[in-house]
Amino acid sequence: MAFALLKRDTGDGASDDSSGGASLKERLHAWWNGYELPPESSPSDRAGSAAGGNSAGRAEAPSGSGSATSGDDDNWSDTRRQLAQEIWSPGFVVPGGNDYVEKLVSGCSLTEAETMLEIGVGMGGGTRTIIGKFGNYVTGYERNPDLAAAAVRHAVTHDIDDKLEMINTPLRDLTLKPKYFRAALLRDILHSIEDKVGMMTKVSDSLKTGEAFLVLTNFLFDADDDSPELVAWKEGEERPVYPWTERELIKCLESLGIQPRIVEDEGEIYRSMVVDSWSAYMKTVKSDEIGEEMGREMAREGEFWARRTAALETGALKYFRVEAVKNS
């Protein structure tokens, strides 16, 4: 989708009334509700038109893996982190908040002395929920340094830093203690890993003997699907994405001696969480309080999540929750 959300605003976040232009909030509201406002023209557009010119007066929201969009994984600025927490809740960069994390780990059983591996920590909101539920230790991995640092600060703020060991390193360099973790949670990361079997083998080898728990959520899609919504999603994601199907996922787990208990397609649940959170956030937005930088982040994030929800809605992209057990 291409929405003209990034038109240059005045300093207070509202457009010039004399030009009849819409405010940033009005443009975002129109975008989120699926309609487009009438096209506007800037003074330079009008001058160009009078001279027979063709100048473009607005900057379109950038998209694709080569732009500085929400897809720019290294661009977790203070503003972007603030926006994410306002949309998803403190400590989170993905939908669901505390309630969804509670659901994910509800089938696990950990003592206060045991450790969970959490891959895809984000800003630490899920970590806080897990430690609050079990009182356990967490070894957390986050490959983005800005998010990893934010997760540590979040742990300090909530007085759980003594329970968290934080790892920030390139994924290829990640090493895990063998037979150490009673449970592992992988949140929305496998689709961006080419060697999924290698990653899952590494995680499996790190699980304790006896009964150990594995929980993962992931985007699945078929390599042969070239539907426009899926193509747009792939091009706009923060990192290259690699196909995997439900069948391939289950085959991988079973080959490692991990038995799936729950395998659920939660694409509609995920999409609803995104829509509900964005809709609630939009009700709080006040145009005169939005600076230019925040306005740009809002537009970029909006485009990013619109691509995800569009691909999920078609069914070309699936979002699975898996709960599994390894007995060894």
Distances in Å between the alpha carbon of 298 and those of 29, 150, 230, 233, 289? 11, 20, 22, 18, 13
Token pair in block for residue 139? 């070894």
**For residues 159-166, average pLDDT:** 98
Tell whether 10 is covered by a domain. no
Kindly indicate the confidence band of residue 75, based on its pLDDT and cuts at 50, 70 and 90.
confident
Tell whether 320 is covered by a domain. yes
Kindly indicate the confidence band of residue 65, based on its pLDDT and cuts at 50, 70 and 90.
very low
Tell whether 175 is covered by a domain. yes
Tell whether 265 is covered by a domain. yes
Tell whether 202 is covered by a domain. yes
Write the single-letter amino acid at 123: M
d(CA 300, CA 68): 8
What is the pLDDT, as a whole number, of residue 21? 55
d(CA 234, CA 314): 14
Q: State the total domains in the chain.
A: 1
What is the pLDDT, as a whole number, of residue 2? 31
Tell whether 284 is covered by a domain. no
Render pLDDT for 276-300 as a digit per residue (tens, 0 to 9). 999 999 999 987 778 999 999 999 9
Domain residues for the domain of 130 are 78-271+313-327
What is the pLDDT, as a whole number, of residue 288? 76
How far, rounded to the nearest angstrom, does the alpha carbon of residue 167 sit from its chain's CA centroid?
Answer: 19
What is the pLDDT, as a whole number, of residue 68? 35
Q: What percent of the chain has pLDDT over 70?
A: 77
CATH code: domain of residue 168:
3.40.50.150
Tell whether 114 is covered by a domain. yes
Kindly indicate the confidence band of residue 98, based on its pLDDT and cuts at 50, 70 and 90.
very high
Question: Which residues touch 224 (CB under 8 Å, ≥6 apart)?
Answer: none
Query: For the CA atoms of the chain, what is the radius of gyration?
Result: 22
**For residues 114-138, average pLDDT:** 98
Tell whether 36 is covered by a domain. no
- Mean pLDDT score of the chain, rounded to an integer? 85
Check whether 238 has a pLDDT greater than 70.
yes
Tokens 């968290």 label which residue? Answer: 164
